[in-house]
Structure 1
């Protein structure tokens, strides 16, 4: 009998629906659904982020690109390989260090970046739609602090 009381006591103190991980997962699932519905190219969120980071910086080593797009080494390699197979990025040997590859956009990749930026703005707008403008600014600032 005391075990049932302890479990009830624990569940009274811990509500899953109030926990940060649970709420972040729900928000992430909502965003992923919106992303898939509104992205105009056949890209994953990590492929999208990679293309945008390359567009922002012109080119980057695969390692640096992974850090900029918040991916580990194994993940960024797979993402870059898939983007190469789609004809959106290319890799060339770094003139200063032949062991390192610089990843850059192909002409095809550069052409779709404007569309991706517009898609990204629409995706963000739709994801944040339930919030007021002031709440959106606060939410994004708080998320940036956690990241």
Structure 2
């Protein structure tokens, strides 16, 4: 009788598959770390009314100066329907404005408003504080290594 995994070993010598353990699952641990960061960010950004996706959108838009909604969504790691809602809410609150692209008047270009810049500065302070709190138990070398590993996982 042959085993599907490896025909070269007798069936009784095949190791048992490891059970799935939630507490050491990368996905579970990443989700828990993300929840902790989001909780810290919301605590430190209390009163700003700023969600994580809104914050990411403002950060990317400030870096770019101006962008189309699709380009901004890609850079902020959001699908088109999500970025559409995020941008609409930021426009409604006066943090982003729209204009026409001088090269193509049909294309809508987004820029951050002065009010959006002020909100972004407060959000960046809250984000930095949340990052620092989340990683306080790590040495500087461990922080760098963790960020390097997360970047590799994110880039796929």
Shorter-chain TM range is 0.7 to 0.9
- 1:62 maps to 69
2:86 and 2:121 map into 1 onto residues whose CA distance is 20
1:133 and 1:125 map into 2 onto residues whose CA distance is 11
After superposition, the C-alpha distances for 1:21-48 in whole angstroms (9 at most, x for unaligned) are 1111111111111111111511000000
Q: After TM superposition, which residue ranges in structure 1, 4 or more long, deviate above 4 angstroms?
A: none
Structure index of larger Rg: 2
Alignment partner of 1:100: what SS?
strand
For structure 2, the 5+ residue unaligned runs are: 1-15
- 1:109 maps to 116
How far is the alpha carbon of 1:125 from its aligned partner? Answer: 0.5
For structure 1, the 5+ residue unaligned runs are: 1-8
How far is the alpha carbon of 1:145 from its aligned partner? Answer: 0.6
Select the structure that is richer in helix.
Answer: 1
Distance 1:32 1:111, change over 3 A: closer
1:106 and 1:120 map into 2 onto residues whose CA distance is 20
2:107 and 2:135 map into 1 onto residues whose CA distance is 39
**What is the root-mean-square deviation in Å for CA atoms of aligned residues?**
1.4
